[in-house]
Amino acid sequence: MRKKIVIMLVCFGFVPAARAVVNFDQGVDVKSAIENAVVSELKLPEARYHTITDLSRDCKKISFRADDPLTSPETPLHSRESGQDCENYGPPLYQVCHPYYKDYEEAVKVVITAPRTLQPGQKEVFEVCLRGTSLTLKQLSPAYKYSVRLALSSFELTPQGPLSKAAQADREVCVLETDSDYFCTYRCKDGYYFTRSNPHGMVSPGMPFHGCRTSAPRE
């Protein structure tokens, strides 16, 4: 009797193992098995939408002379956003990305909100820039101290008093930053950069002749 029970337990113990055996008579989809194993080991990268890869900036200069109106003409600015959208597909494991572009445009003007006195031949220069939805203004060669307020697409500049000649001259100090075969880049004391063409450049390939001056007036 004890011997019969042992035999029965052994038989039942092998049932799960027997069920797990692959029936080769029915065929095996090896390709599907490999793909499922790969997908289980690897994770799909996360889908990414509106990933910005580049955002251009457009800058223009606006100047005022003594006899100019206090409101400048509108200056068109254009900025382009470049990016990509990535979507997952699988199995098999892969991701497809599509480029996209978005354009931003503004018509910008500078408004001097109160009269101020400029000397004959004197010129004030401001730089307006658009990058995406961001508008900025830089005072390149002001004759006055100004408070700045952005109202929609207009920069309103309110005079706070004339700058001293020493302060104006101090802003104009621009020294050579980089001297290359084709360009001269200058950095002004307030951090403003500008680039000019090298007056000599490359006379022949491999023979650079630099002609950049050590300093230059602000542009």
For residues 62-90, average pLDDT: 91
Count of H helices and E strands in the chain?
Answer: 4, 13
In-domain check, residue 206: yes
Model pTM score? 0.61
Element (H, E) at 145: strand 144-151
For residues 189-215, average pLDDT: 68
In-domain check, residue 184: yes
pLDDT at 184 over 80: yes
In-domain check, residue 190: yes
Determine the Cα–Cα distance for residues 187 and 206; give it in Å rounded to an integer.
27
In-domain check, residue 185: yes
In-domain check, residue 194: yes
Determine the Cα–Cα distance for residues 157 and 127; give it in Å rounded to an integer.
13
In-domain check, residue 91: no
Among residues 143, 146, 145, which one has the least CA distance to residue 118?
143
Q: What is the pLDDT of residues 117-142, one digit of tens each?
A: 888 888 999 999 999 999 999 888 88
pLDDT band per the 50, 70, 90 thresholds, residue 76: very high
Determine the Cα–Cα distance for residues 144 and 161; give it in Å rounded to an integer.
6
In-domain check, residue 105: no
In-domain check, residue 176: yes
Domain count across the chain: 1
What is the span of the domain harbouring residue 210?
Answer: 172-219
